[in-house]
Every structure is written in structure tokens, then in C-alpha cells.
Structure 1
Amino acid sequence: MYHAIVKRRVRALFAAVSQGDAEPVLRQFAPRFEHRCLGDSALGGVRRSLAATRAWYRRLYRLMPDIGFTLEDIAVAGGPWHTIVTATWEERNSGTDGVETRNRGIHVLTLRWGRATALLICPDTAGLTATLDRLAAAGVAEAKAAPILD
């Protein structure tokens, strides 16, 4: 039963992000957490504060305003005191230049008593880099900005 509840909550969080609303995700973080996106890009790096993580999601939406996720699989392991969730996904967006792209990846989420202590976002970094390079070539300077870190 617990695993089914976690899966339902993860689906709802992905749906919120796909609708342009990261606040439900931000509300899930524990007081101490790590938000990490793999890759050396404007969306890469590690954040440990809500302010920096909120800034990251705002950047994501500025670069890919219509980003949407299709979940392929969600796996949950462990009890409420230490839960690991993996979610594999396909993402589509048309960036700020209207060119539709797709990417695949996985999220690894660590929960303790219902609060997220770690979120690792593992996109296909080559695909993400290609999208950001294309946006930068179209004049979107933020696509090549330094990562948001804290």
C-alpha cells in the first residue's frame, strides 16, 4: 500500500512540473536536501537550498517553457524511513525557438518519512547539451549560463 501511495504522489509531481508548476516538488523537500542534475550545462550541478532549487526550475521553464514528461516506469523500494524511487521518463519540449525535441532519463529520489532528501536527475546529457546548444545558437544566452549552485 505504501509503495502505491508513493507512486501516485510521484506521478502527481511529474504532472505538476509538466504543467509549469514546480511548487509541489519544492514543498516535498526536507529541510536538508540535495537537488542534482547531471551534466556540465546551465541545468547541471547541485543545489541544497529552496531558493537555488526554485531558481533552477525557473530557468528550466524559461529555456523549455512547454516541457512535458511521460512516465515510463516508477519503482519504489524500502519503507517510509528510507525509500528509494526511480522514475524513467521521456521528456518533450520545443524550447524557446519552437523546435520540438525529446530526451530520455531517470530520476532517483530518496525519501525519509515522506520528505525528499535527495533528487538526482539523470537526463541523456548529450541530448540536453544539443538542445541547449541549439537555443544558444538562436540567441538564448541563458542556455550557456553557469549552473545555478549553492
Structure 2
Amino acid sequence: MYHALVERICRRNFQRVNDHDYEPLLAACRPDVHHRFGGEHALGGQRRDVEHLRQWFHRLGRVCPTLRLTVTDVWVKGLPHDTSALLRWDATQDMPDGSAYANHGVHVVRLRWLKVVSIDANEDSQAVERAMAVFAAHGVAEATAAPITS
């Protein structure tokens, strides 16, 4: 029962990213949440608090407004005081030059008492970097910004 609840929460949070509805997702995080997203680009780096994660999500929404994440599998392990969830997902988005964007990845999410402690995003960071270059070439200046880190 508990594992099914965690799976529903995780799937709902991915849908919130698709909907640009970040505040409920952020409310489910501990103030000292640790977020890692690979790559040397505007979305890369590590954040160690909810405020920098908020800034990161809003940047994601501005730079990649049509990003669609589809969770394909979820595995949950642990008890309420120490839970790990692995989510496998596929991503697509409309690119301003008409090219195709597709990515595939896994998030490792750690929770304590249903509060997110850490999010480790593992995806094809080169695909993200290429997408940032396309967005930048089409006038999205923030696509070349320094990573938001803390």
C-alpha cells in the first residue's frame, strides 16, 4: 500500500512538471533538498535547497515550454523513514528549428516521511546540451545561461 502511494505521488509530480505546476512539487520537498542534473549547460549542476530548485524548475519551463515527460516504470523500495523511488521516463519537446527531440532517463528520488530529500536526474546530457544550443540559436538567451547552483 505505501509503495503504491509513493508511485502515485512520483507520477503526479512528473505530470506537474509537464503542466508547469511546480509549487505543489516543491512543497513536497525538504528545505535542504539536493537536486542533481547532469551536463555543462543551463540546466546542469546541483542545487541544495528548495529555493534554487524553484529557480531551476522555472528556468526549465521557460527554456523548454513544450517538454513532455512520460513515466514508463516506477520501482519503490524502503519504509516511510527511508524510501527510494526509481522512475524511468521518456521525454519529447517541440524544437524551434523543427528537429526532433527525444531523451530517455532515470530519476532516483529519495524520500523521508513522504518528503523529497534528493532527486538525481540521469539522462542523455548531450541531447539536452544540443537542445539548449538550438533554443539559444532561436533567441532563447537563457538557454546559454550559467547553471543555477547552490
Query: Would the TM-score normalized by the shorter structure come out above 0.5?
Result: yes
2:26 counterpart letter in structure 1: L
> Which structure 1 residue ranges, 5 or more long, are not aligned?
none
Contact 1:20 1:66 in 2 (8 A): no
Shift of 1:19: 1.2
> Which structure 2 residue ranges, 5 or more long, are not aligned?
none
Q: Secondary structure at the match of 1:146?
A: coil
Shift of 1:55: 0.8
Contact 2:32 2:50 in 1 (8 A): no
2:8 counterpart letter in structure 1: R
Stretches (4+) displaced over 4 A? none
Shift of 1:79: 0.7
Q: C-alpha distance in 1, partners of 2:33/2:17? A: 19
Identity of aligned residues (%): 37
Aligned to 2:102: 102
Contact 2:97 2:134 in 1 (8 A): no
Give the count of matched residue pairs. 149
Aligned to 2:139: 139
Q: Which residues of 2 match residues 27-106 of structure 1 at below 5 A?
A: 27-95=27-95, 97=96, 99=98, 100-106=100-106
Residue 111, structure 1, aligned to residue 100, structure 2: no
Q: C-alpha distance in 2, partners of 1:133/1:5? A: 39
TM-score normalised according to structure 1 size:
0.93
TM-score normalised according to structure 2 size:
0.93
